[in-house]
């Protein structure tokens, strides 16, 4: 399956991608995770992207499109993928159309995860992320594991710089201005499935599961 996740920052895309992988083995491709890895390793891409990420701005389209082009060449995505955090602008979505048609493949569904802004602030300000496995947790709704009990080695939990309240509001505004227009873009292609993202992790996954079972 070839899927896209759209939804505001903190809607639960990463969390649900993990549950989708557990059941369907569809590999998540998160542009945010790739960018943060590049920042950590101080690559050229990381140096270019760092300032945009820490101010909560979008990294320029040409940089992101080149990055995705390279990623999608990886044979592990040959049978499918779940794009998380890409596309985020209309030019990125248009570039993806070209990439996919060159690969001779089509999108199966665009999952739109809907969560109101007030809930987003609560989720992102309590989010904690693991440096080693990229999983996200929440101090109240999904507490991080004790490092000693972590099933993937020692979890190294931290709070992302861009998960501070001031940057969260900026990112939400950018979502509404630049990313939300993708909803119409993909609705016109008849690809959008809406998911109510406000329930528990399991309730949200049940909705996604019933969509994927029909594909």
Output the smallest distance, CB 196 to ligand ADP, in A. Answer: 10
Binds ligand ADP (CB under 6 A): choice among 80, 107, 141, 150: 141
Q: Can you spell out the DSSP letters for 13-34? A: HHHHHHHHHHHH-PPEEEHHHH
Taking CA atoms, 159 is separated from 11, 36, 57, in Å, by 17, 13, 18
Binds ligand ADP (CB under 6 A): choice among 27, 58, 100, 183: 58
Output the smallest distance, CB 74 to ligand ADP, in A. Answer: 17
Q: Which of 154, 159, 76 is nearest to 124 (CA)?
A: 159
Among 2, 109, 123, 127, the one annotated catalytic: 127
Binds ligand ADP (CB under 6 A): choice among 59, 82, 182, 208: 59
Confirm whether 13 is a catalytic residue: yes
Residue 20 is a binding residue for ligand ADP (CB under 6 A): no
| Stretch of 39-47, 48-56, 71-79, 185-193 lying at the interface with ligand ADP (CB under 6 A) | 48-56
Confirm whether 128 is a catalytic residue: no
| DSSP state letter for 48 | H
Q: Which two three-digit tokens encode residue 42?
A: 């101080």
Taking CA atoms, 100 is separated from 54, 107, 138, in Å, by 30, 8, 35
Catalytic residues: 13, 88, 127, 160, 171
């Amino acid at each position: 399956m070839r899927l896209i996740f759209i939804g505001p920052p903190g809607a639960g895309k990463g969390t649900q991608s993990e549950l989708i992988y557990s059941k369907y083995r569809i590999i998540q491709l998160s542009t945010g995770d790739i960018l943060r890895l590049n920042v950590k390793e101080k690559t050229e891409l990381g140096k270019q992207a760092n300032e945009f990420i820490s101010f909560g701005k979008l990294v320029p389209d040409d940089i992101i499109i080149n990055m995705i082009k390279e990623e999608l060449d990886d044979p592990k995505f040959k049978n499918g993928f779940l794009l998380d955090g890409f596309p985020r602008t209309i030019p990125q979505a248009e570039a993806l159309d070209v990439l996919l048609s060159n690969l001779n493949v089509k999108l199966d569904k665009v999952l739109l995860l809907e969560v109101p802004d007030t809930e987003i602030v609560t989720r992102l300000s309590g989010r904690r992320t693991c440096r080693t496995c990229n999983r996200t947790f929440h101090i109240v709704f999904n507490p991080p594991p004790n490092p000693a009990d972590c099933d993937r080695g020692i979890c190294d939990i931290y709070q992302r710089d861009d998960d501070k309240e001031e940057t969260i509001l900026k990112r939400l505004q950018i979502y509404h201005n630049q990313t939300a227009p993708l909803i119409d873009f993909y609705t016109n292609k008849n690809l959008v499935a809406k998911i109510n993202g406000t329930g528990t992790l399991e309730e949200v996954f049940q909705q996604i599961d019933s969509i994927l079972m029909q594909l």
